Structure 1
Amino acid sequence: MAEPFYLRAKRVVSAGIESALDHAERASGTSLMREAIREVDRAIEKVRGEHEEALDRQSQAVGQQKLSAQRAEEWLGKVQFTLEKGREDLAEAAIMQQMEFEAKVKHFKGQEASAKTDASRLDGLLEELAARKAVMEDELAAFEKMMSENSATSDSKSKSDRSVDRKVERAEATFDRTMELAGGVNGTSKHATEIGKMQRHSEVEERLAAMKKAMKAKGGKSK
């Protein structure tokens, strides 16, 4: 089963932040902040790819819905035809095929809704990341200005390093909140599926009986 989009997005962003923090031991000041911004850029590209995939899945689900609905209508016609010919065995088989395509319609509707939700959440995530990148770029510009104005004393360097650490921590917290907004996607209920299978046979019998009754009534009226 494919990993949910929001988990992939969270892993990408989290990995990016961790990578940026790992550089803290080897880099300082503007180099660390620039690396953090580059990690955000890479995260944005990954999420944008997920967004495009979600839109593609939504489009494909819509097309499959239409096709399945057409096939369900075709099998309905075959049910009526076989009943008219007195072949209840074939009519029952045709009803089962009709139900299969009706189930596919519901399945693809669910896929469409899921993909649409994913696309919407990913769109919001892209906006959040873009906004955070803008803030980080502003912080970098302010930091560079501060560094150019301050004397290169050990005390000012210590304060600057602490300022960078605080800014990266704020970025990490913002990304965590963004991932929470992305949320999760609920799967298909296992119990609902089992109940559906139990009801399937009963529904076939009910449909067959209803169509026979309707055709009998129609035959009576024609006489």
Structure 2
Amino acid sequence: MKDTITQRVSRIIAGNMHALVDMAENANPKAMQQQAIREIDNAVTEVRTELGKEKVELHAITKRIAEAKTDHAELLQQIETAVREERDDLAEAGIARQMDIEVQRGVLEEARSLSEADIKKYQGYVDAMLARKREIEEAFAQKEAAAKEVHGSGTAKAAVDRAENAYNRIMGGGAPVTPQRSDDEAALDELAELDRKSRIQSRLSALKSTMKRHD
């Protein structure tokens, strides 16, 4: 699944947007734009689904690590009590259990690092595809004023079919699918845009501060 998502995102980001827009001039620009946006929206939804699963997994791993730490600490107290009572047999059993916990914690810590890396990767995918979506919307908006309407239903349908086939070749996708986007998806897009604007302002402020120190 992860490899499939990576390949799909890569095709979307690497697709020749300018060629797509140029071909749309001889077809139906609106249809081409809508299909391009559908492809991105579907991919964003898919990635966000995997992102949610990964966050749930990370939560479970983190909880298990915390439990392991607590168990390890409690065993230490029990081992110390056994030593004071000169019960080396109990102390040894406690130490053996601690060693098992330490081995498991090592694996859990590694799993947590991998999960955190996947979350960061998936979030990067979402940000990159939303950026691509903005680029496509801006490119089509610039061409819209100069785009010619195709007259005649038969001619228009044929032109749209050619345009859609060309888009599929460029973006590497198959037949277009209907996106399943909810109000939550729209809200997530808005939050992502707000976060992006906030990061832009932070970067601008940092740049101004650096330039001021150098003046």
Relative to the length of structure 1, the TM-score reads 0.54
List aligned pairs for 1:39-118, cutoff 5 A. 39-118=39-118
CA distance in 1, matches of 2:41, 2:81: 61
Q: CA deviation at 1:12?
A: 4.6
Structure 1 residues 57 and 45: CA distance shift in structure 2, 3 A: same
In 2, the alpha carbon distance for the partners of 1:128 and 1:100 equals 42
Root-mean-square deviation over aligned CA pairs? 4.0
1:191 corresponding residue in structure 2: none
Matched, 1:140 2:140: yes
Q: Is the 8 A contact 2:12 2:129 kept in 1?
A: no
Task: Compare CA radii of gyration and give the structure with the larger one.
Answer: 1
Q: What is the identity, as a one-letter code, of the residue corresponding to 1:94?
A: G
Counterparts in 2 of 1:165 and 1:8: CA distance versus 1, 3 Å: closer
Paired positions, count: 154
| 1:67 Cα deviation from its structure 2 partner | 1.2
Query: For the Cα contact (< 8 Å) 1:12–1:46, is it kept in 2?
Result: no
1:166 offset after TM fit, Å? 8.3
More contact order relative to length (CA 8 Å, sep ≥ 6): 2
Aligned with 1:119: secondary structure? helix
Change (3 A) 1:168 1:126: farther
Which residue, out of 1, 5, 15, partners 1:9? 5
Q: Quote the sequence identity (%).
A: 22
Q: Aligned AA for 1:9?
A: I
In structure 1, what is the Cα distance between the partners aligned to 2:151 and 2:48?
Answer: 42
What's the secondary structure of 1:128's corresponding residue?
Answer: helix
Q: 1:16 and 1:116 mapped to 2: Cα distance?
A: 24
CA distance in 2, matches of 1:118, 1:93: 38
Q: Which moved more, 1:142-151 or 1:86-95?
A: 142-151
User: Residues 183-215 of structure 1, C-alpha deviation per residue, up to 9 Å, x if partnerless?
Assistant: xxxxxxxxxxxxxxxxxxxxxxxxxxxxxxxxx
- Residues 79-108 of structure 1, C-alpha deviation per residue, up to 9 Å, x if partnerless? 223333443333222111111222333333
Q: Are the aligned partners of 1:65 and 1:108 in contact in 2 as well (CA < 8 Å)?
A: yes
TM-score by length of 2: 0.56
Q: CA deviation at 1:51?
A: 2.0
CA offset at residue 8 of structure 1?
A: 4.0
What one-letter code is carried by the residue in structure 2 that aligns with 1:148? K
Q: Report the CA distance between 1:165 and its aligned residue.
A: 4.6
Residues 144-173 of structure 1 deviation map (CA, whole Å, 9 limit, x = unaligned): 433328999x9xx99xx79x958973x66x
